[in-house]
Structure 1
């Protein structure tokens, strides 16, 4: 369980990026975080793992208040939080396997991480995850030889290699084509269901958020203006979040690309 209580962030410039964010995410729930650019979505995600320090409020994961931890305690707590980045954040010169195993760096002594020595169990889990994301045959490729979709899959496997209690996902489909975007979202959702893992996904694509999320939180100017089921995201609500737009036309444009998120892909790696 993740709990945010009156979390705010004001930058030194005086800009208020987040104001009194309050919500809980239970185990297994996938939350789609939507809103216009500058609404505070990335700030909210980064406040949770304290890549950005909240100005006020508390953030609790399980029985641990993250906002009250010192630097050493925070390093340990971050092992429990998997992060999937928009720009993948892979080490390009390392292999796919080495990038996935980097998810275990918080659990091994410094000398072992420097020499990249991992246990047989860690390596076996990494192979299993690469198979799960459709990259088992690419384990020895350098990361810079992969396509965008393949890199994102490595990022997913790396986050899951941590055996996290929470998954934070920042714009996972921003640089991907529509088909690959849907495969990536399906993969994240399935992983959360299988592991009973809560997740918050910062995503610009409203239709993808509706298809693959259990719940939608809408931000506008740093404040939560909607928190509810995907099918409650009406045109009126979207106007509240984003402003005036022909949402009927937008839905029509996306309808042709829509498929059932519960329908498994024939080949998750296909075309990626």
Structure 2
């Protein structure tokens, strides 16, 4: 579905963020990107939808080479890629419903969006999505009156209103407490399964990545140093990704989770 071939990014300063990225993502797969700060995770996600321009290589989505597109054709291709941001990217003074409906901007254009003239089917779908993400009670609330978890749910609903085939998710749990983080990751995972969406999730929490992703890719200094199943992560591999540390391996013990096929989680810890 999504293919990256030889993708690299070098900034005008000369700093290289990505080098020779080779990656294929099939339909319906949830992939977690892990790695230390500065490893290139956010840059990789933004290269896919061209918010950051790759310096070299090819990126193709369902046979369409994104790196060759510009103007209206690029805007059209971006409809297929829903973006969920770390800092939510909501308009605080607008209501929850208005923020969700902004996900139609790529279809209705700026002026119809500005004048709130959305097609009736899009409005009906926004209502359905807000119910699905658990915010049907907050439709008329201003975005700045929401908690962090609620704001992230609005961002998820907005991305899905694009009717995307790929989700690009940048640090969805960075500002959330542990319980809310699990809820948000579980919601993203369930929605991907329901809609057969592929997803790339940039995430720092290794345990959450193991619990909710089908596949994990580890980046270090802009290069892929691991690509495999969550259960294949070992202390040695994590050291390769993050550098020397004391890795404590333990089985996830989530009191509010129904046991599934969750792999053993690996968390960064200090020996006691």
Please give the range of the TM-score, normalised by the shorter of the 2 chains.
over 0.9
Pair 1:194 & 2:194 matched: yes
**Cα deviation digits, residues 115-162 of structure 1 (max 9, x gap):** 011111101100000000000010000000000000000000000000
In structure 2, the residue matched to 1:151 is 151
C-alpha displacement of 1:48:
0.4
- TM-score, length of structure 1 as denominator length: 0.93
CA distance in structure 1 between the partners assigned to 2:173 and 2:111 by the alignment: 35
Q: Secondary structure at the match of 2:59?
A: strand
C-alpha displacement of 1:261:
7.3
Where does 1:1-272 land on structure 2 (aligned, <5 Å)? 1-248=1-248, 251-252=249-250, 255-257=252-254, 259-260=257-258
**Alpha carbons of 1:173 and 1:109: their partners in 2 closer, same or farther (altered >3 Å)?**
closer
Moved over 6 A (4+): none
Q: Which has the higher relative contact order, 1 or 2, with Cα contacts under 8 A spaced 6 or more apart?
A: 1
Q: Give the total of aligned pairs.
A: 260
Q: Secondary structure at the match of 1:8?
A: strand
Unaligned runs of 5+ in 1: 264-272
- TM-score, length of structure 2 as denominator length: 0.93
Q: Secondary structure at the match of 1:173?
A: coil
CA distance in structure 2 between the partners assigned to 1:37 and 1:126 by the alignment: 35
Q: Secondary structure at the match of 1:23?
A: strand
CA distance in structure 1 between the partners assigned to 2:109 and 2:149 by the alignment: 32
**Cα deviation digits, residues 13-63 of structure 1 (max 9, x gap):** 111100000011111000000000000000000000011000000000002
CA contact (8 A) 1:35 1:204 kept: yes
C-alpha displacement of 1:3:
0.5
